[in-house]
Amino acid sequence: LKINPNAPTANEIAADLALQAKVQAAIASQTGVNALKINVSSHRGVVTLGGTVTAGPVHDLVLQSARGVPGVVRVIDRMHVQK
């Protein structure tokens, strides 16, 4: 049995999941955003957003919402604007 010393601890995993839930809630609270089409993941404060949004202003709103959540260090944008 080998143990990876770089593997996240249970506390780190829990913190990532809690941050992910907070970001998802912040996005879902925005009017005009279909939060079900936005994928959110987090690792050590870095949040990655994926999926599809309907327009540029919605894209900006999702990014702004994620960046406004306490604990978010950086946001990686992998969303696509639907054409």
Question: Is 45:75 a contact under the CB 8 Å cutoff?
Answer: no
Question: Is 24:62 a contact under the CB 8 Å cutoff?
Answer: no
Q: What size, in residues, is the chain?
A: 83
**pTM (predicted TM-score):** 0.89
Over residues 15-44, the mean pLDDT reads 95
Q: Is the pLDDT of residue 3 over 90?
A: no
Over residues 13-17, the mean pLDDT reads 95
d(CA 61, CA 8): 31
pLDDT reported for residue 7: 85
Provide the 8-state DSSP code for 79: E
d(CA 71, CA 47): 10
Over residues 5-29, the mean pLDDT reads 94
Question: How many CA atoms lie less than 13 Å away from 9 in the CB half-sphere?
Answer: 3
